C-alpha cells in the first residue's frame, strides 16, 4: 500500500471513531465568525489529525477548515488538506451524512485522499494512478449518458427554479450534507452526478476530487475548470461532477452561471 495512504487510513479511521464517541457523549456547539456552527467534535478531530499527520510528516504543509491559514503551506512540496468533519449539520443532528476528509496535495493537485463516513461505515480511498476503492473494492462512475432519469445529488428547489433558460428534465434528486461524501457516492456509482452552484473550499473538495477522478469521473467548476489546490485563495466557485458522458451535458446547462 502507498505509504501516505496507509498513514491517512490509520489516522482518519481513528479520527472517525473519536468523532462518534464525542457525539455519543453530547456535543458542545458554538458559532464561528460568519455564523457557521462548529462543535467540540470538529475541534477534537482536527487536533488529533494535526498531531498524528504532522507528527508523521513534519515537512508537509497544513490546511484545515478549523485552523487559521498558515501561508507557509504555499512553500511546502506537499500539503495536508483537511476537513475534520464535513457535514457538521448532519453530525450535530445525529444524521448519517457526514465524513472525515483528508487529501495530500502536490503541485496544486491531490495525490492521495481518503474520505471516511463513520455512521455509514464507508471508507473511500485513492492514490493518483492507482484507482479508487470503497471498503477494499474498486469503484467506478456510471456510464449514464443523459440528464433525464439520472440520479443526481443536488438541491431540488434549485433545480426547480423558474429562471433556468431551459427547464431541467425529470431526474431522481437526492441530498446529502457532506460535499466530500457526495463526490464519493458519484465515484462509487451510487449516483450519476453532483451539482452544487455555491462556493466550496479546498478542504471540501480535494480528497473527493481525487477519488472521483481515479474512479473515471470528471470534477470541475460550472465553467469546466479543473480545480487547483493549495493556492492563496481556497475558495472554488461551484462543483459539477459526473461520469464522462454526463459531465459535458451538465456543463452545457450550467455554464451560463459564470461568475
Asked which of 138, 171, 205 is the last residue of a domain, the reply is: 138
pLDDT band for 97, please (50, 70, 90 cuts): very high
| CATH number, domain with residue 181 | 3.40.190.80
CA gap 83, 45 in Å, rounded: 9
Confidence of residue 218 (pLDDT cuts 50, 70, 90): very high
Kindly list the distances between the CA atom of residue 96 and the CA atoms of 87, 89, 115, 180, in Å, as whole numbers in the listed order: 9, 10, 14, 13
Which pLDDT value is given to residue 81?
98
Q: pLDDT tens across 108-154, in order? A: 999 999 999 999 999 999 999 999 999 999 999 999 999 999 999 99
pLDDT at 35: 81
The confidence score (pLDDT) of residue 114 equals: 98
Residues 12, 132, single domain; the answer is: yes
pLDDT of residue 94: 82
Same domain, 14 and 113: yes
Domain that holds residue 204: 151-257
Domain boundary among 83, 105, 138: 138
- What does the alpha-carbon distance between residue 157 and residue 243 come to, in Å, rounded to a whole number? 24
Confidence at 1, pLDDT banded by 50, 70, 90: low
pLDDT tier for residue 33 given thresholds of 50, 70 and 90: confident
Amino acid at each position: 500500500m502507498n505509504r501516505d495512504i496507509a498513514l491517512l487510513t490509520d489516522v482518519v479511521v481513528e479520527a472517525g471513531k473519536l468523532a462518534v464517541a464525542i457525539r455519543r457523549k453530547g456535543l458542545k456547539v458554538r458559532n464561528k465568525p460568519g455564523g457557521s456552527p462548529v462543535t467540540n467534535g470538529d475541534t477534537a478531530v482536527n487536533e488529533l489529525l494535526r498531531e498524528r499527520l504532522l507528527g508523521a510528516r513534519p515537512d508537509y504543509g497544513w490546511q484545515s477548515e478549523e485552523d487559521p491559514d498558515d501561508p507557509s503551506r504555499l512553500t511546502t512540496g506537499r500539503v495536508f488538506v483537511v476537513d475534520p468533519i464535513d457535514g457538521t449539520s448532519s453530525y450535530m443532528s445525529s444524521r448519517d451524512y457526514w465524513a472525515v476528509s483528508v487529501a495530500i496535495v502536490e503541485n496544486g493537485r491531490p495525490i492521495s485522499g481518503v474520505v471516511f463516513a463513520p455512521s455509514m461505515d464507508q471508507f473511500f480511498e485513492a492514490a493518483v494512478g492507482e484507482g479508487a476503492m470503497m471498503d477494499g473494492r474498486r469503484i467506478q462512475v456510471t456510464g449514464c449518458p443523459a440528464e433525464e432519469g439520472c440520479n443526481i445529488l443536488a438541491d431540488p428547489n434549485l433545480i426547480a427554479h423558474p429562471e433556468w433558460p431551459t427547464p431541467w428534465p425529470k431526474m431522481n434528486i437526492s441530498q446529502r450534507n457532506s460535499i466530500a461524501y457526495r463526490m464519493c457516492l458519484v465515484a462509487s456509482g451510487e449516483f450519476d452526478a453532483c451539482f452544487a452552484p455555491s462556493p466550496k473550499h479546498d478542504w471540501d473538495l480535494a480528497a473527493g476530487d481525487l477519488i472521483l477522478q481515479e474512479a473515471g469521473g470528471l470534477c470541475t467548476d460550472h465553467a469546466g475548470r479543473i480545480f487547483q489546490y493549495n493556492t492563496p485563495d481556497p475558495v472554488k466557485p461551484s462543483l459539477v461532477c459526473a461520469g464522462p458522458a454526463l459531465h459535458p451535458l451538465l456543463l452545457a446547462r450550467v455554464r451560463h452561471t459564470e461568475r
